[in-house]
Amino acid sequence: MGDARLSLPVRKAAITHISSDLATQISMTERFASDVIDGQRLLDLYRRMVLSRTVDERVWMLNRQGKAAIVASAQGHEAAQMGSAAALRAGDDHFYIYYRDLAVLVGLGMTAKQIMLGFQAKAGEPMSGARQFPLHGGYPQLKIVNLSNVVGTQIPQAVGSALACKMRGQNSVTICYFGDGAASVGDCHEGMNFAAIHKLPIIFFCENNKYAISVPLSKQMAVDTIASRAEGYGMKGVVVDGTDVTPVYQATAEAAALARAGGGPTLIEAVVERYLPHTSDDDDSRYRDKDELEEARKHDPLILLKERLMDGGILTEQIYEEYLREAKREVDEATDYVEALPYPDPNDFFEHVYAYQEGESSL
């Protein structure tokens, strides 16, 4: 194996700073420009990306077999999701994710078993007891919240989480993930404005896959980038190549450092590709060009990182094969395990409507 501490170069164009930087922001940027993710860490991220992709492909297949009711695939988003999560402190920082963020969960250490319980809505599902769609609910051990299917709704909530961190004197950062579609929602504006006013420790992380189901960017906004809006709120805005884990990591690490130092929020726009239809219920041939998809596939974050690691001598064919085998083994095992489980017990149906049972004093 090559030098595990090898720092891989970031492509110059991969990060674009949008807003006019304040003095503190510039110094932060400079400090972290050298703080590139090391080779060993990248290798580990690659391993997790392989696992996430394997889970993703499996649940999509289970959907086609009628065993998973709905799947929103993260394929094409993995570098953005993993790179950002890796730059934060799992267990300390707060993660407000949305339905497409499978690779955030895998990156934070959730297992294939835990995740697949959700896709098959089986007993013991850890985030909502399978009351919700896959990946939804809460997972306090890792400070993960993903309540809503109402696009954009999580943004003010994440801001509230950051407000609480600030008021409680905690050094935690909140990261709020959302799509390009969510950027149009009023709550996005309200949340960002408040966060900027109070310089809250939050990172707004937009996974721009250029579609809100079928509606392309050109019909969602009249400006070139979502990050350009940051300036209008008085916060920092950054566009990164979201298919490349390194600049994503770097931009997130910078944003987190800025947030922890009291410098306020950053809006990171990670430009990604969505390889599959919006969800398993969608037919993207109705609105998406085959050529466009083919072109997008050339920027597959897994291929990109694999090549980079191979070139750097960090990843070998042998390790690669081992990662694939290991991921397949874990996912096979999870599939069998989950399939054999029952659905949740309806006896719990009425639990957790209120903190206390009706009639009981709550005081």
Partner 1 sequence: MREEMSRDDRVFVMGEDIGARGGVFLATDGFYEHFGEERVIDTPLAESSIAGIALGAAMNGLRPIAEIEFADFIYPTFNQIIGEAARVRYGSKGSLSVPMVIRAPYGGGVRGGLYHSQSVETFFAHTPGLKVVAPATPYDAKGLLKSSIRDEDPVIFLEHKRTYRLVQGEVPDHEYLVTLGKADVKMEGDDVTVFTYGLMLHHCLEAARQVAREGISVEIVDLRSIRPLDNETILSSAKKTGKVLIVHEDTKALGVGAEVSAIISEQAFEHLDSPIKRVTGPEVPAMPFSPSLEDVFMPDSDRIVTAIQELAVY
Residues that bind partner 1 (CB under 8 A): 94, 127-129, 131-132, 136-140, 145, 147-148, 150, 153, 155-165, 167-168, 186-187, 190-191, 193-194, 197, 351-356, 358-359, 361-363
Q: Is 33 in the site for ligand TPP (CB under 6 A)?
A: no
| Contacts (CB under 6 A) with ligand TPP, residues 191-220 | 207, 209, 211-213
> Residue 76: which region, alpha, beta or left (left: phi > 0; alpha: psi -120 to 50)?
left
The active-site residue, picked from 275, 287, 320, 337, is 287
* Catalytic residue status for 275: no
* Catalytic residue status for 323: no
Kindly tell me which of 185 and 341 has the beta carbon lying closer to ligand TPP: 185
> Residue 235: which region, alpha, beta or left (left: phi > 0; alpha: psi -120 to 50)?
beta
Q: Is 273 in the site for Mg ion (CB under 5 A)?
A: no
Do 15 and 250 contact (CB within 8 A), yes or no? yes
Q: Is 75 in the site for Mg ion (CB under 5 A)?
A: no
Q: Is 237 in the site for Mg ion (CB under 5 A)?
A: no
Q: Indicate which of ligand TPP, Mg ion, partner 1, none lies near residue 100 (CB less than 5 to 8 Å, by partner kind).
A: ligand TPP
The active-site residue, picked from 278, 288, 308, 323, is 278
The active-site residue, picked from 47, 94, 136, 274, is 274
CB atoms within 10 A of CB 173: 27
Minimum CB–partner distance for residue 213 and partner 1 (Å):
19
Do 130 and 116 contact (CB within 8 A), yes or no? no
Closest-CA residue to 90 (of 111, 74, 104): 104
Distance CA 113, CA 115 (A): 5
Site string for Mg ion, 136-175 (x = CB under 5 A): ----------------------------------------
In residues, how long is the chain? 363
* 82 contact partners, CB below 8 Å, separation of at least 6: 45, 48, 49, 52, 103, 104, 106, 107, 245
Structure tokens at 135: 């990946």
* Catalytic residue status for 308: no
Catalytic residue annotation? 274, 278, 287
